[in-house]
Structure 1
Amino acid sequence: MNIFHPRDLATPTSKIKFESTVVIQISKNRFTFHFISYTGTMASEKAEKKLFGTNGARGVTGKDMTPDLVMRIGLSLSKIRKGKIAVGMDTRTSGPSLKSAIKAGLLAGGCDVVDLGILPTPALQYIVKLHFDAGAMITASHNPPEYNGVKIIDSDGTEFSDEDTIKLEGILFSGDYELKEWTGVGKESCANEMLDEYTDAICSRIEKLEKPLTVAVDPGSGPACLTTEKILTGIGCRVHTINGQMDGFFPGRMPEPSPEGLKPLAELVLATNSAFGVAHDGDADRAVFIDDKGEYLEENEEFALMQKYACRNNPGGVVVTPVSTSKVAEIIAAEYNCRVEYTRVGSISVARKMIELAEKGENVVFGGEGNGGLIFPGHQHCRDGGMTAAAMASLISTEGRPLSELRKDLPKLVMLKDKIFSDNHTEILNKATKSFSGEEIDLTDGVRINRKDGRWALLRPSGTEPFMRLYVEAPEKDAAESFREEILKSIN
């Protein structure tokens, strides 16, 4: 999500705040809708998305994200994607009103609409790929309960490309809709039962486990309540569940599965002697894990374990991931004669690069982000939390070793993560680029600085929240901290 705020139009100040976290591992546009044109934080003059960001458009319900806006998004989509459109939502309390709004826009624009009800985003994507011309998901993913939003899905199951999104926004901002007369409006139907196609597809792709595993599942009161337990039992797991009732108030924990919020899941893992615990975000396109010792599995470790599994079974292939992912990805790829292709941050960029490489004849074996959003190309080209949960069960069953042991085999690197609150992202990026101009600079997304000693850093505006992110990774903690201080000093 891009976050746009009127302050972005004001004269920038030099005030900067920092928030920092340390991870020892293997490893704008909040919007007020007067439709003000904005070109983004990067220096590029090319067309940029204004409302839709890294993963859809999101905002506070009733303030930024209103039924009127969502209806107009539906009208805009109906002009560029004719035919039959699938619509779904997560469990947020504002879901029914916003789903009704986008259906109204689509129907008024002449599209037939099939309502799939409550379901995970990857389930909608899978069903769209098989049966529909496009899809629209009402969700704010990991954002707090007061947020909601819209993700637009193309006919191949991936999220809309930047080019198509900019085209949709052009119609939205100009009001150049095509309202049909009474003889041309669309028809509506419901097909909640199509969700079974998604769960059945995962169960058919993952071989049934030779020895049953006990697994603890935390759907977080989201749509994974309908799918993850069914998937895991379908491949031979015994499942214990917490936060397994759908509830848009998210009483057990927030939609973002944080280490703090997953303490009850960790307790359940230990109490039930589970092989692992798995938790999802608000729309279940991501999965994060608790190991058999009750310890949180950092998402870059999760990526590395799944990558290692994929590369070992497909040596010589290609792994696609954003520039924010741990360099462990390169280390593991080299072990199996694979290579890593980097993209901008965001599952859209990763998925479309995977498809592009595959169309050129490349053997693309795995992709995703270091945030629990993994892509298994043999299944579909989108982040899929349900598939990730099943793949983890298969990995542990195949290896015959506990997750706490498997993670010990991974290369050890130290990643530091900071949040930088500033009024002028462009100025900060320009300062960083100038300060480190004598080093290898990668401008794929923000500014990434690669050093010959193995250290790297990435500075980029967040695509989902109103701050900048700084990632620094090095073989040792001291080396990472000193590099971070260099960067902070250069931009302050």
Structure 2
Amino acid sequence: MSEKILKKQLFGTNGVRGVIGKDMTPQLVMNIGLALGTIRKGKIAVGMDTRTSGPSLKSAVKAGILATGCDVVDLGILPTPALQYIVKNHFDAGAMITASHNPPEYNGVKVIDSDGTEMDDEETIKLETVLFSEKFDIKSWEEAGNEECIPEMINEYIEAVANSFPKINHDITIAVDPGSGPACLTTPPILTKLGCRVHTINGRPDGTFPGRLPEPSPEGLKGLSELVISTGAAFGVAHDGDADRAVFVDDTGEYLEENEEFALMQKYLCSNDSEGVIVTPVSTSKIVETIAESTNCRIVYTKVGSIYVARKMLELSGNGENVLFGGEGNGGLIFPRHQHCRDGGMSAAAMVALLSKEGKKLSELRKELPPRHMLRDKIFTENPDKVTELVSNAFTTEKLDLTDGIRINRKDSWALLRPSGTEPFMRLFVEAKTKDEAEEFKAIIFKSIQ
């Protein structure tokens, strides 16, 4: 009999999330705190984004952690990467109350390990086992944990990001849209410390998100584009609800597709160093391979999810590899010399350094990238394994990659079909040099599963 493979049941690739009062309740979050304190002893840092449900859930997770005898340090409102940076340097674990890019009615929990990365699958399964069994290590009154509130620790993160790059010696204006999230407290001061003139929109913390939704979509960033043009900014940067991602609009107000963002940053970091490794999921544009060839670097692919990218980067670095950069083609960039997690504030600062070095406008730099066109779609199915089998049988002569779902690799194009971790559909990515080629490839895939 084959060994049963355990899988996460509650936590997805980026924590657990749900609608407040329905899937996400203070009772559940307190139990997560109890489970975390049962498997991780010591001092645990807790933070939250700006959502209106944040204070109640933060109180709940702290109650659980304290009941297990662990000490809690409340860091207040801050970005997820700020909590991760502080945990890495000072604490035994962390819990972030956030639903990232989800709408205001959602909230959730991300659990952070002592190295600052999100807890890996193996440890998360241990946490879930304790959570579902309710075998919590609840201490007696004399062993209960203590709490401190130190919100000013956020300044350590701000200083660390700002000090990662040289201060610019020329005038540059940046437009910032924190989306009323915790980046209101970090990205403007980071850029100011670099010597930038900063203008903001949606720059006051507000959990109702009055200006736009937490997901920084092209449609929601029209105000940022207008601010870029009216102020003559070099670019605009926007964050999601917990600021672990950053997306950009260029100096003309045009949205910079996230794979272009990744490629430009990859090119910048590789040109500053000797040959090294770039780590990214199988859902990232083939542009990364073109850039890698021109800069004498190699690409290592992982499953989709920033935690898999971060863990692979740590593994390769531990084996003596020169890991230069990583992340996803969704605005989630990882700078390993700073920390092994997605960091929107670091991405904003790095874009300033990139433009300062190149001496060109962002709109000019993006035109130098090789042309690519990516299509995204969904295939609704209750049986993703069957769909994967049909596609595999239809493309037996192609180069197939089963790292995550099934990826079909051709010389100038590729397609990826992978199951959603939370909903009954499969995500489809198709990329080619032109839109017509991508549409033709997509049609062949749909035909193979009909």
| TM more than 0.5 | yes
Q: Which moved more, 1:63-72 or 1:456-465?
A: 456-465
* Structure 1 match to 2:240: 281
Q: Which amino acid in the other structure matches residue 314 of structure 1?
A: D
Q: Counterparts of 2:427 and 2:96 in 1: how far apart (Å)? A: 27
Out of 116, 122, 145, the residue aligned to residue 157 of structure 1 is: 116
**Deviation of 1:183 (Å):** 1.1
Q: Give SS of 1:405's match.
A: helix
- The 5 Å alignment of 1:52-451 reads 52-451=11-410
Question: Higher relative CO (CA 8 A, sep ≥ 6), structure 1 or 2?
Answer: 1
**Deviation of 1:464 (Å):** 6.0
State the Cα deviation string for residues 23-44 of structure 1 (Å, max 9, x = none).
Answer: xxxxxxxxxxxxxxxxxxxxx9
Q: Counterparts of 1:169 and 1:368 in 2: how far apart (Å)? A: 26
* Structure 2 match to 1:479: 437
Q: Counterparts of 2:64 and 2:390 in 1: how far apart (Å)? A: 44
**Deviation of 1:465 (Å):** 5.5
**Deviation of 1:426 (Å):** 2.7
Q: Counterparts of 1:75 and 1:63 in 2: how far apart (Å)? A: 20
> Residues 394 and 166 from structure 1, CA distance in 2 versus in 1: closer, same or farther, beyond 3 angstroms?
same
> Residues 211 and 463 from structure 1, CA distance in 2 versus in 1: closer, same or farther, beyond 3 angstroms?
farther
How many residues were matched structurally? 448
Are the equivalent residues in 1 in contact too, given 2:45–2:95 (CA < 8 A)? yes
* Structure 2 match to 1:14: none
Q: Does 1:469 align with 2:423?
A: no
Q: Give SS of 2:125's match.
A: helix
Out of 441, 447, 450, the residue aligned to residue 489 of structure 1 is: 447
Are the equivalent residues in 2 in contact too, given 1:213–1:397 (CA < 8 A)? no
Q: Give SS of 1:301's match.
A: helix
> Residues 276 and 476 from structure 1, CA distance in 2 versus in 1: closer, same or farther, beyond 3 angstroms?
same
TM-score by length of 1: 0.90
**Deviation of 1:438 (Å):** 2.9
**Deviation of 1:184 (Å):** 1.1
Q: Which amino acid in the other structure matches residue 57 of structure 1?
A: V
Q: Which amino acid in the other structure matches residue 446 of structure 2?
A: L
**Deviation of 1:45 (Å):** 5.3
Q: Counterparts of 2:219 and 2:423 in 1: how far apart (Å)? A: 20
Are the equivalent residues in 1 in contact too, given 2:326–2:333 (CA < 8 A)? yes
Q: Counterparts of 2:157 and 2:324 in 1: how far apart (Å)? A: 21
Q: Give SS of 2:142's match.
A: coil
Structure 1: segments with no counterpart, 5+ residues: 1-43
Q: Counterparts of 2:292 and 2:399 in 1: how far apart (Å)? A: 21
Q: Which amino acid in the other structure matches residue 393 of structure 2?
A: K
State the Cα deviation string for residues 442-463 of structure 1 (Å, max 9, x = none).
Answer: 1111111112x32210001234
Q: Counterparts of 2:420 and 2:236 in 1: how far apart (Å)? A: 28
State the Cα deviation string for residues 200-241 of structure 1 (Å, max 9, x = none).
Answer: 001111110121210100000000000000000000100000
Are the equivalent residues in 2 in contact too, given 1:84–1:112 (CA < 8 A)? yes
Q: Which amino acid in the other structure matches residue 134 of structure 1?
A: A
Q: Does 1:456 align with 2:414?
A: yes
Q: Counterparts of 1:428 and 1:182 in 2: how far apart (Å)? A: 55
State the Cα deviation string for residues 298-319 of structure 1 (Å, max 9, x = none).
Answer: 0000000000001111131000
**Deviation of 1:175 (Å):** 1.2
Q: Counterparts of 1:379 and 1:211 in 2: how far apart (Å)? A: 25
Q: Give SS of 2:60's match.
A: helix
RMSD: 1.2
Q: Which amino acid in the other structure matches residue 284 of structure 2?
A: T
Q: Counterparts of 1:331 and 1:276 in 2: how far apart (Å)? A: 25
Q: Percent identity?
A: 70
**Deviation of 1:478 (Å):** 1.8
Q: Counterparts of 1:356 and 1:364 in 2: how far apart (Å)? A: 10
Q: Which amino acid in the other structure matches residue 341 of structure 2?
A: C
Q: Which amino acid in the other structure matches residue 471 of structure 1?
A: F
Are the equivalent residues in 1 in contact too, given 2:25–2:57 (CA < 8 A)? yes
State the Cα deviation string for residues 350-402 of structure 1 (Å, max 9, x = none).
Answer: 00100100010000000000000000111000000000000001111111111
Q: Counterparts of 1:394 and 1:200 in 2: how far apart (Å)? A: 16
Q: Counterparts of 1:438 and 1:197 in 2: how far apart (Å)? A: 54
State the Cα deviation string for residues 379-429 of structure 1 (Å, max 9, x = none).
Answer: 000000000000001111111111000101111111111122333323222
Q: Give SS of 2:379's match.
A: strand
Are the equivalent residues in 2 in contact too, given 1:89–1:118 (CA < 8 A)? yes
Q: Give SS of 1:262's match.
A: helix
Are the equivalent residues in 2 in contact too, given 1:54–1:464 (CA < 8 A)? no
Q: Counterparts of 1:176 and 1:438 in 2: how far apart (Å)? A: 51
State the Cα deviation string for residues 226-264 of structure 1 (Å, max 9, x = none).
Answer: 000000000010000000111111000000000000011
**Deviation of 1:433 (Å):** 2.1
**Deviation of 1:79 (Å):** 1.2
Are the equivalent residues in 1 in contact too, given 2:382–2:424 (CA < 8 A)? no
Q: Which amino acid in the other structure matches residue 297 of structure 2?
A: C
Q: Which moved more, 1:105-114 or 1:459-468?
A: 459-468
TM-score by length of 2: 0.98
**Deviation of 1:176 (Å):** 1.4
Q: Counterparts of 1:267 and 1:464 in 2: how far apart (Å)? A: 36
**Deviation of 1:118 (Å):** 0.3
Structure 2: segments with no counterpart, 5+ residues: none
